[in-house]
Structure 1
Amino acid sequence: MLRKSFSFVVAGTMLFLLAVFIAAAASQAQAESAGQLQYWVTIQEGLASVRAQQGDFKEGPA
């Protein structure tokens, strides 16, 4: 009986660790995608700034 309950404890612990590992991997993937999103937003803001500067330059007095 003790051996059977011990195997349940081991199996439960392994499942718990697997769930923690999956949650950590998902959290890491979410953080990386958020970082990539911020990277692309920064690039788009930079391009918009350059376009605005070029537009202002073209619209200036000749």
Structure 2
Amino acid sequence: MSRCAACGRRLRRPSPSGLDPVCARRLHPAPARPQTIRATEPPVVHCDGQTELPLIPFQPTLESL
């Protein structure tokens, strides 16, 4: 049986790198996953005297040009 190149442990299944799976994970860790930051938006506060406009798509017409 062959042995691990890093720790000398007997390998059940020889690997091309010559490393035991435990040693391979220890020597070559997986890259860290980027953390996404969730931005919480504060609620929109309407001031006195402001009018909320409806959000409708604006289709230009000949009169509006």
TM range (shorter): 0.3 to 0.5
Which is higher, the Rg of structure 1 or of structure 2?
A: 2
Higher RCO (C-alpha 8 Å, min separation 6): 2
TM-score by length of 1: 0.35
TM-score by length of 2: 0.34
Q: Is the helix fraction higher in 1 or 2?
A: 1
